[in-house]
Amino acid sequence: MTKVGIAGFGTIGRVVARHIEASELPLTLAAVSAGDRGRAAAAMAALERPVPIVDTAELVALSDVIVDSAPTAAFRDIATATLSAGKTLVTVSGAALMQWPEATDIARAHGGRIVLATGALLGLDAVRAAAVGTIHSVTMVTRKPVKSLVKAEHVVRNNIDLTGLTEPLKIFEGSALEGAIAFPANVNVAAALGMAGIGPARTQLEIWADPALERNTHRIIVDSDSARFELSIENIPTVENPGTGRITAQSIVAALNDLVSPIRIGT
């Protein structure tokens, strides 16, 4: 039985916990950690089999696999503790991982492993396959409802007024690497795309605030020596956090299932 610890028991962490409880695969929830223990305890009451709420060090000690669903600012501490212990880290924090490549060195030195869950972005199997050859260009255009972007760091820092927006507004254009710095909590999918393909510095990114949308949308165009393809996805936002799609938590669950399932579909 693989023991799973969840670092961050918010919108994503609670969904993952419920799926682990319901899973017929050899997965069990060992413990969780949370910045706000009071809120975590209230959420824990909804589980059939409550588990301890502990600090990061104890979480790692109790678990085989750590799911990182904490705020981006906590990524380095969680990753360092997990990987230094030679354990597996499952995360959706592509932007944080891209900006801190030392995590890979820690994993290599201690026998740890990093799994970047990317279910909120389709087609990465094709991008990775194309990267075995030569990719000429990758462009990603992200369009999000205004409510998904009003609290984004880049928007707040640059005093971009999104109130009363009546038509789409491009609020960023640059590389995926620059986008991850400007929007650390909003462009994890672009970071994953960059790492899977020609690199974040060469992956082009546009971000639009669109008052007509209700879903977070991503359109990707890839041109390579083996194929040219376009990908499009519309992610339904969670009620609790409009900036996070429902499929994000399910992506983590799928990654956990892959770790213990006798068959894996996709590369």
Instruction: Determine whether 136 is an active site residue.
Output: no
Q: How many C-beta neighbours within 10 Å does residue 45 have?
A: 7
Length of the chain: 267
Question: Whole-angstrom Cα distance, residue 122 to residue 119?
Answer: 6
Structure tokens at 232: 């499009």
Question: Whole-angstrom Cα distance, residue 13 to residue 240?
Answer: 12
Cα 17 to chain center, whole Å? 16
Rounded to the nearest 5°, which phi and psi values hold at 217?
-120, 145
Q: How many C-beta neighbours within 10 Å does residue 105 have?
A: 10
Lookup result for tokens 């799609």: 245
Nearest-5° Cα angle at 20, 16 to 24? 145
Q: Is 188 annotated as a binding residue?
A: yes
Q: Closest by alpha carbon to 116, among 1, 221, 193?
A: 193
Active site residues: 218
The binding site for NAD(+) comprises 120, 188
